[in-house]
Every structure is written in C-alpha cells, then in structure tokens.
Chain A
Amino acid sequence: MLIECQDLWKIYRLGDVEVQALRGLNLSIEQGEFVAIMGASGSGKSTLMNILGCLDQPTRGRYSLNGVDVAGLRSDQLAEIRNGQIGFVFQSFNLIPRTSALENAQLPLFYRGMSLREQRAMATSALSRVGLQGREGHYPTQLSGGQQQRVAIARALVAGPSLLLADEPTGNLDTESSREIMAILDALNKEQGMTIILVTHETDIAAYADREIVIKDGRVLLDRNTQAGARPSPSGA
C-alpha cells in the first residue's frame, strides 16, 4: 500500500473560528493507481493534497507513505520525502522565472548534492520524456502554457518519485494543451506504473483516472472505480 490515511483530521484556527478542513478522512491508494480527487472548493481537497504531499501535517490521525508514518517528522525529513518520493505539478506551473527549462527540471536534483553533470543528464532525459528535447535552454517566457506545464512535469518526475501529485494541472490551459498534458500523465501511469493523484473539478479530465474520489466536508463522499468500461456519465458525480 502506497498511501494509507486513517481518521485524518485537520483543524485550522482562523481568529476565533475553528475550521475543520478534514474530519476523520480514511483513504488508501495502491502503488500504480491513477486517482482523481474531486470536490467543491472548501471541501477539504486542497488540505488533503497538502498533507498527501508532505507540505502539511495532519492535526490528528495517521498518514503513512510507503509504510512510513509521516506524522511527527521534522521539516527537514519532510523535505527529504518530498525530494525523493513526491513530484508536484501545479495549476500555475510554478516554474522559477528567468531560469531555463533545463535548470527548472534540475531543481529537485540540485537539493540532493548531485554532481552538475548528473543533474544535467537526468534533467535532459526528463525533458525529452515530456517531448521538450531541444528546448532545454528556453526560458519560461519563451514557452507556451502547455510547454511550461510539461517542464513542470519533467521537474516532478526527474527524481523518480513514487507519487505524482497534480493539482488542477490543466486549469490554466486550453483544450488542446490539456489533452497533451493528460496524455503525458496517462502514459506515465500506464507505461511506467507511476502513481498519480489528480485534483480537478473538470469531469472530462477526471475521466482519465481509473478511480474517482469525491470529498465533501472533509470526508470521502464517494469512492469508485471508473476503469475502462465502467466510466460514468459526466453528470455521475
């Protein structure tokens, strides 16, 4: 089991108001799954993603990633987990401005103390895996939105993570680019067995996943298999 969440609680305090973003959420995800997480804003899906991505810690409950209980780890240990096991793809790409595609893709390796030559070799191959060979020297401003997101994917997978978290990866893209990005993610899942968790509110994007989880009020409302043949109608959610 790659991900196991048991009775996950996250409680924020905004002034005097206590916000319960997660209320005893339970979830298990196996290695190699392609999961779409859906839910209205305020449902707690962002909080869940932050916790799954080891950017945040749950207030209560257990979250184990690859058999390691993440709760209670120090910030440096979390950084190491993010660096080695998790790749992030954001809605707004979040590339470092005025820095070449190659250097952006190198970034996770940079924090591993790897030699520069190794970093470059791995980043170059990651870029070619997303179809950006020959654009290593391009700056984000010289790339289209779809290309920028592909650089971000290269960055996410360069370090060989076991989990890829994509938060609305197509939210800022046109239909054509969205399809390209989803094709890349799909290929990563199908051909390399990479576990992908996709947050989206677009049903046609969610349809690429094999499993759909709907979050509401900090709990799992619906969890169903949508593998080929069992795909729901768009209004199913």
Chain B
Amino acid sequence: MPAFILLTVWTAVRVLGRNRLRAGLTMLGIVIGVGAVIAMVSIGEGAKAAVAQRVASMGTNVIIIFPGAMTTGGVRSGQGGAVTLTVSDALDLKKRIPLLHETGWGKRDVMQIVNGNKNWNGTVNGVSPSYLTIRDWSFTSGGAFTQQDMDTAASVALVGQTTVDNLFDAGEEPVGSVIRIKNMPFRVIGVLAPKGQSAQGSDQDDIIFIPFTAAERKIFGTQFLGSVGAVFASTERQEDLAPAVEQIREVLRLRHRLQPGQEDDFMVRTQVDIGKVQEGASETMTLMLFTIASISLLVGGIGIMNILLVSVTERTREIGVRMAVGAKRRHIMAQFLIEATTISLLGGCLGIVLGVVGARVTSVIAGWPTIISPDTVVTAFAFSVAVGLFFGLYPANKAARLNPIDALRYE
C-alpha cells in the first residue's frame, strides 16, 4: 500500500505538472483563501496582543469611578459634568468595603509646562500617592512622592517619558531640576517608566503627576474643594471586581443620597469591562475572518471539484484501462482524492507563504504589529487538506462508479 500511495501522489504531481496553468488557476482560490486568512489572523492577533498589553498597563484589577451626568430640572449635563465625586467618597469606600485593596483619586487638566527655554502643553494629573500604586507606575529614575508630600502639598512632580522628551534636552537629567507649571515651580523627583498607549489609544506617557493637594491648592484653583476627576480602586483578586463594583454603587448611592429609581450620578468601570469592549471588537473581527475564509475556501473547493470532474471525463479511458488491469473502486477513488488533495495542499502551502509574506509586509509598511502563530498555520494547512478531500469526494466517487466496459469504449 505505501508503494501505491507514493506512486499515486507522484502520478498526481505529474498530471498537475502537465497542466500547470490549469492547476495553478485551480489552486488560486485556495492560495488566496489561505493567504488572506493567515495574513489577517496575524494582524488580528497582533492587534489583540497590543490591546491586551494596553489593558494590562492600566494596573491590576483596577476599578475606575467617574463622576456621572447630573440632571438639574430636566437638563442633563454630559458625563463628567457633575462634581459629584470627592476625596471623602474615596476614603469612605476604602473604609466600608473590605474587598477594596486600595483607593486613590486624581484630577487632571492640560497645562503649559516650562523648563528653561522649552515649553510643552501636557497633561497635569494631581493624584493621591495610592493612585500610583493602583496603576502600577514604576520609575526609570527617582521615586514616587509620599503621604507627607501629600499632606504638605509639596511642590514635587513625576514626569512621564513623553514629557521628558519634550521638556528636556537629550542626556539632561530631569530628576532634581525645577519645572514651572502655571508659573509655579515644581521639583522633579522621579521619571516614570513608559507605558505606551492606553486602551483608548491616548499616550499615557504624556503626563506629569503632582500631589493632589498641591494641584488643588496651587494649580487648578478648584471651586469645590475635595472634588476629584476620578476615583480609582483595586482589589486583590479579579473575581472580587464584580462584587466590589456592586458594593461601590451601594455606598456611593447612599453617600450621594440618591432615591430609589434615580439614576447614578457616577459611573463605575473595571479593567475587565474595558478589556471586554476590546475583546468584543476582536471577536467581530474573528467572525468576519472566519466568514471570508469559509467563502474563499468554498470557492476554491468548488474550483477543485470542477477541474476534477473535467479530469475524470478526460481520463475516462484511462480509468477503464486501470479497472481492466485490476484497479478496485477504492484505488480509483484514492487516485482522484489524492489528486484533489495534492492541489489543495500545494495551494495551502503557497497560501501560507503568501500569508506570512503579506503579514510581514503589512507589519513593515503599515507599522501594525503582527503575530504569526503556528496554530494558525497548522489550521490553515489542515483546512486546505480537508477542502481537497471534501470537494474531491464527488468526482472521485463518480470515477470509481464508472462501468469498466463503458469507460474502455469512451471516445
């Protein structure tokens, strides 16, 4: 039997080699299908990994609470339009909800920052020291400010990499230098390790952190003392996120004296929620890819079936001869199935090459990250074989069912 398969494969290759154009055109559907799938899955995987990395850059098990819309006499302000979240909300949440490992808060604004003769319009974020822990910020040099800095509203600042790049000359050490924010001098005590883009796509490194108290008193000139832009919290375990969110809502509704039926004047989001939005997007993408792949493989498969039917007709006499000298039905069946599989397999291999090259080219030209996983390649390969077998079945069966006498007489 091995000799039979070997020779049949060899025969199939030669038959295809004789009709190179025909075989090539037949393969094209499979080549394009497999190639498109590999290229697009690689791009999709790359994008997914990038998103996952961004979500992870938020910190671990993070909950974010934003001030919500406020309804005043039927007029609804936009989200964040209310000054409903306060420092005492954050402190009280920590006290009342044991599930919360840490709470922090912050308030941000875009400001002119000056260092010597350079200036930069960057985001200034007044935060509690705990915020830095929740968001997992680390430092390339220097270190975080302390609770004492917070209590004394010290004029100290932590700068992100983008800010450093724009405010300092290359090689200049930011730590120890004094920058001016809204004309107030702040001493740089730490440079933050880069985090890259956020899950929403903004540059997280274009940032300056200063103690919340200093921001409130010296920079922002807040109307309502103690109001914050957002409250951050974290839990020990990911499973705690959902119950923690429920408890946060209860506590805040109570604190904000909201009546039953009245809508929340705040919004709670977890890292998982944000991740899910992205996952949802990539699921849609995957479904789309699957559809494209199915259609192109279907078209490719029909192409194979069509050409095989032609081949069976052309070689009717040959089939008759083979039967006369002792080929059984399964031999004839195997011959055409092997031929179909050879076409689809070759097409699959070319498609893999095309897909890998396509992904690399996209990666280089468009600058998108691409990941070519062996799984994808193996699946694409297996699919192309399956398409060959499936669509080869009908023509092969047709050949095997020929009556040897009629086949021998066929003109």
Contact = CB atoms under 8 A, between A and B. Distances in A.
A22 to B, nearest CB: 14
Interface stretch (B178-186, B318-326, B377-385, B387-395): B318-326
Given A83-B326, A111-B328, A113-B3, 14 more contacts: A55-B405, A55-B408, A56-B405, A76-B328, A82-B325, A84-B326, A94-B320, A94-B321, A95-B321, A97-B318, A107-B322, A111-B322, A111-B326, A111-B327
A75 B403 CA distance: 10
Interface in A79-97: 79-80, 82-84, 88, 90, 94-97
A82 B404 CA distance: 12
Interface string A108-128: 101111111001000000000
Interface of A: 50, 53, 55-56, 75-76, 79-80, 82-84, 88, 90, 94-98, 107-108, 110-116, 119, 155, 159
Interface on chain B toward A: helix, strand, loop, or mixed SS? helix
A96 B321 CA distance: 8
Interface of B: 1, 3-4, 6-7, 14, 18, 317-318, 320-331, 404-405, 408
A84 B327 CA distance: 11
Nearest to B325: A108
B4 A113 contact: yes
Contacts of B330: 76
Name the 9 nearest CB pairs between A and B, nearest first.
Answer: A83-B326, A108-B325, A79-B328, A111-B326, A94-B321, A76-B328, A116-B3, A55-B404, A82-B326
9 contacts: A55-B323, A55-B324, A75-B328, A76-B329, A79-B328, A79-B329, A94-B321, A113-B3, A114-B3
Given A111-B331, A113-B3, A119-B3, A94 B317 contact: yes
A88 B324 contact: yes
A6 B207 CA distance: 104
Nearest to A53: B324
Nearest to A108: B325
B1 A80 contact: no
Contact of B325 (A75, A98, A111): A111
A175 to B, nearest CB: 26
Given A50-B405, A55-B405, A119-B3, A112 B326 contact: yes
Contacts of A82: 323-326
B405 A94 contact: no
A171 to B, nearest CB: 14
A119 B3 CA distance: 10
A178 B318 CA distance: 24
Given A96-B318, A113-B4, A80 B326 contact: yes
Contacts of A76: 328-330
Nearest to A167: B408
